[in-house]
Structures are given as C-alpha cells and as structure tokens.
Chains A and B, each alone.
Chain A
Amino acid sequence: MNSIQQISIFVENETGKLAELTKLIGDAGIDLSALSLADTRDFGILRIIVNKPDETCTLLQENGWTFKITPVIGVKVPDVPGGVAGILATLSEAGVNVEYMYAFVNRTPGEADTIFRVDDEETALSALRSAGIDILTPEEVYGI
C-alpha cells in the first residue's frame, strides 16, 4: 500500500505569510484535505495533505518555498470516548513513538479521522492492523 504523502512547509512568522501560501495553493485549484500548523515565536511548519501532491510540490518549488514530503498514517478513529486513547495505546504497546498527530474532518458521520506521524511506520501499520483498526488509504485522505 502507498503511504499518505504529507507536505510540510516552512513558514516564517511574518504577517501575511500564511495567507500568501494558502492563496498560492488555492489559486492553483488544489484542495486541502487536512492541515495542521505548528508554530514557535520565529517560525511555523504548515503540514498539509492535498488532492494533488505532485502538482503542489512543483508549485512550491517554483515559488521558492522550503518544504519536505513525509509519509504519514491516516486512521479512522471511532467517534466515541476513548477512541484516540485506544489507538495510542496500541502504538505505545508496539513501541512506536508518535511525533505529532492531528485530526481532520471526514465526510462520514461517526468517524473522526486522524493523521499520525510516527518514528517507525512499518511497525505502526502492522500493530494497527492486528488490532483491527481501520487504516485510511491515500485516496481516501486526498479526497479523490
């Protein structure tokens, strides 16, 4: 299975920087499926998942943005109390460390989809599968 390609973009902490970046993507007709922003006083990292990853990378490259493509795991989390806790417990038992995670809106009611960035993708995937947890395909996340 192909992994989900997340694009992480370096955004300096200046007024209008984030607007400039999202406008660039929007004007190219690229749809953002999921996004999260991590920030410090000086800079931020915008992490996005889009419907057209290759096109987005070309666009960013041409416009001089610093970015990186990282594989991430998408998981269907049951929308019940303890949903996320169960998944984290599974990963933890498998000795997988979560670098960061973020939830995003899904079209299916009763599910809250979540992106995990882990230090060992292979181990994480097999642990999740054995625990019977639903893993999202890239297509499902990209919203194609």
Chain B
Amino acid sequence: MAKYWNADIECMSREEMKKLQSERLVKQVRHVYDNVPYYRNLMDEKGVKPEDIQSVDDLCKLPFLSKADLREAYPTGLLATPLSECVRIHSTSGTTGKRVVAYYTQNDVDLWEDCCARAITAAGGDENDVCQVAYGYGLFTGGAGLHGGSHKVGCLTLPMSSGNTERQIQFMRDLGATILCCTPSYAAYIGETLHDMGLTPDDIKLKAGIFGAEPWTEEMRRSIEKSLGIKAYDIFGLTEISGPGVAFECEEQTGMHINEDNFIPEIINPETGEVLPEGEVGELVFTSITKEAFPLLRYRTRDLCVLSRKKCSCGRTLIKMTKPMGRSDDMMIIRGVNVFPSQIETVLIEQGYSPNYLIEVDRVNNTDTLDISVEMNADQFSDKMKDIQDKEKQLAGAIKTMLGINPKVHLVSPKTITRSEGKAVRVIDRRKLHD
C-alpha cells in the first residue's frame, strides 16, 4: 500500500515547493490579468501589474476577492477560459439568487480529483478498497470530488449519494465497503442506524472515513470512530477554490495538509487585510495557482484558522491548517447550507414583521435545528389559535424558500426578545462546533 499518492509533491522540500509555487503564481497572474477583466480592473485600481509578481513573496501585492465579488461577477464575470473549454460547473449550497457558480476545465477536474486521491491515500486507501461515497451528488462538490478521487486511486467506488440510510448499511455490508466519505453528521447518523439495526462495527468492514463539508468537533470524531469502528479523517474544501481536497488529514489527525502546489494559503487580519505570521489566528485566504477556468487570486474564505509548518510524523511537508475555529463574518452552516442572519431578517421585514428576532441553532440527534423567534405586534395577534399557527407556518415557508431549509418559527410578544445596548445578539448557536 502506497503511503502517499504523489510523494514528490507531498514530501517536497520547502525550497522546491516555493519555487514551484512561484512559477505557477507568475503564470497564473498573467492568465487572470489577460482573461478576467473583473480582476484586471481590481489590479489596475491597486496599481499592480502582472510583472510586479515575481514570486510568492509578491502575493501580498495582489487585491483580495470576496464572496461579494463572486456575486457581483455572477455568473461568468470571473471565468478565465472560453466556455467551450469548460466541462463542468458546481455551485455552493443554499441562498437563492446568491449562489456561487464555479467552472472547471477537464484539467481542473483532473487536478481536483488528484487532490481527493491524496486524501483517500492518506486515509489508507488503495486499489483494494471499496469506497462508499455518501456525500450528495449534483451541484454540490462533495459527491463529485470524492467520487473522482476514489476512481483515481482505483477503489471500487459506490456512488451512493446521501440518504436512504438502511440501504447505505445494506451495501456497506454486502459489498464490504472499507472507506466511507460523507458529512460528519451523516456518518454519526449512519453509526446510530447501524446500532438501531442491531449491528455492531464487527458486522461491517469499514476501516476509515473521510468526513467534511461542515464543522465538527474532536468529541464528535471520537464518537463516530467508536460507533463505526474506524479512523475518521477530516477533509476541507470550498467550491470557490475547487471542492473537497483543498486540504486533508493524515494519520496524525492534528490538522489538514493543504495541497499547496495548487492552492497557496495565507492568514490575514480580517480587519486590516495584513498578512499574519505562521501560528497566528486569522482569516484563511487562498490563491489558486493551477485552476484554468475559475482561478481565484487571494480569495477570502472568512474561515478563521491557524497555519503550521511544524514537522509532521506522516512525512508530508505540505503546510497544515487547523480546523476552522469560526468565521470572520456571521455566516452559519446549517445542515450544510450557508445561512446569513441578514437573509432571515429580509424575509421578516418583507412579511411585515419586526426586525426583532432571535435565531437559535442546535444539533439534535446529529441533525441541525433552526428555531426563529419573532415578535408580533397587536395587529398580527388573533384570538384564534389557527390564525397564529397559520402565520407561523407561512413565515416558515417564506424562510424555507429563501434558505432551502425548514425552520421552526415561534411568534412571541413584543419586547420579549432581549434588546442589546451594543451589537444585537441575533444568533445563539448551541452546537459547540469549535473546541
């Protein structure tokens, strides 16, 4: 069994990696400047020319891109190749009208799948393994990325997609799946279902799991490992940059190695944009140096984490990132969907409610719950129970249309939601996703 998918890259010396990154960055900046007018304008505004970028040390001269830029440039404003060269799109979850669409050439797909192959290999996978992909297939990158990576490695791939848990377990047993790829909450649910069916980890052949696309804790990892009898590996990615496999965990389980031959990471102060030294907490920024169709330079992820070049016992020299420790904006990830409180507020105001609301997020039986309390005024109150319940249902429906997930709405008396002197507390997240 090979320990690395691509030992030359994964164990490359720092000097060689820097040289490779620099060559690729210089080429990429030229490609973007020539083909993406949106980014060219940003560079011109900042007075940066492609020739100013000679190595990775010049990266900090480039302007940032944010999710707002992606929305503004939707759908093709950041595309760097003709559509005829693109073979695929993927899109971020949720948020009607605010989706991010990313394009891939065949080469982009190959490099992405290669990153996922590294993750599967790091989790102990090879051509003798049976890899059950229970991430959602479709616009979401989860299914496609691990599916492609599994093919590359030569695993027998079970393209299950998510859902139908008893069937997942049936296939897992009948076909002897050894690696499971899905979200951590789904893995936990599969574990519970297994036990509910009267089975134990001895009844399945699973040895490893590759879980990502949502925040999870160390505690949750241990519980999944126990319930499925496996070693659980974290994987990180985002559609804007490619998908899962931007970073992956090795057997040390102390952070994720970033595939920095493709994606250069930086940590910045989210307030000032200043680049922070290794070891400090800040916002993670990525620069794609190999993507052809949708190459984002200095894309601000809004995820807060720490980078480390501490020597890893696995032998990989790829820089490591910690699990995201939070967000530099107020985005929540609920059931895998990106949710901003402002979206909920917009619906409330449209529906004639007061902007005094409280969002409560929790995780019950490994499923995220979303409860929204909203103050109603005297005109909205009725002596008839059904009227109030209808109003709650209607509001829940409008929020579902906006977010794609079903909330529970509670109408409450005016002035019962605590007012705050400074910044209003609009969200209570009880999931304890960050250690």
Contact = CB atoms under 8 A, between A and B. Distances in A.
Contacts of B412: 12, 43
Contact of B413 (A6, A65, A68, A70): A65
A66 B382 CA distance: 10
B384 A100 contact: yes
B383 A47 contact: yes
Interface in B379-398: 381-385, 388-389
A108 interface: no
A66 B388 contact: no
A43 B388 contact: yes
Nearest to A100: B384
A122 to B, nearest CB: 18
B385 A68 contact: no
B296 interface: no
A62 to B, nearest CB: 13
Interface string B401-419: 0000000001111111000
B413 A10 contact: yes
A67 B380 CA distance: 10
A36 to B, nearest CB: 10
B411 A43 contact: yes
Contacts of A27: none
Interface residues of B, number: 17
Given A42-B410, A43-B388, A43-B411, A70 B416 contact: no
B381 A70 contact: no
Nearest to B411: A43
A114 interface: no
A45 B416 contact: no
Contacts of A64: 413-415
Contact of B376 (A38, A66, A117): A66
Interface centre among B382, B384, B410, B411 (most CB of A within 10 A): B384
A38 B385 contact: yes
Contact of A12 (B377, B385, B389, B413): B413
Contacts of A100: 384-385
A99 B413 contact: no
B378 interface: yes
Nearest to A65: B413
Nearest to A70: B383
A99 B411 CA distance: 21
Interface in B318-373: none
Nearest to A6: B383
A51 interface: no
Contacts of B415: 64
A64 B381 CA distance: 14
A49 B414 CA distance: 23
A57 to B, nearest CB: 11
Contacts of A45: 383, 385, 388
A88 to B, nearest CB: 18
A96 B111 CA distance: 71
A42 B382 CA distance: 15
A8 B383 contact: yes
Given A12-B412, A43-B411, A68 B389 contact: no
A40 interface: yes
Interface in B158-193: none
A66 B383 contact: no
B382 A68 contact: yes
A128 to B, nearest CB: 21
Interface in A8-32: 8, 10, 12
Contact of A99 (B384, B388, B414): B384
Contact of A68 (B381, B411, B416): B381
A66 B381 contact: yes
Contacts of A117: 383-384
A80 B352 CA distance: 48
Contacts of A42: 410
30 contacts: A10-B381, A10-B413, A12-B412, A12-B416, A40-B389, A42-B410, A43-B388, A43-B411, A45-B383, A45-B385, A47-B383, A64-B413, A64-B414, A64-B415, A65-B413, A66-B376, A66-B377, A66-B378, A66-B381, A66-B413, A66-B414, A67-B378, A67-B381, A68-B378, A68-B381, A68-B382, A70-B383, A100-B385, A117-B383, A117-B384
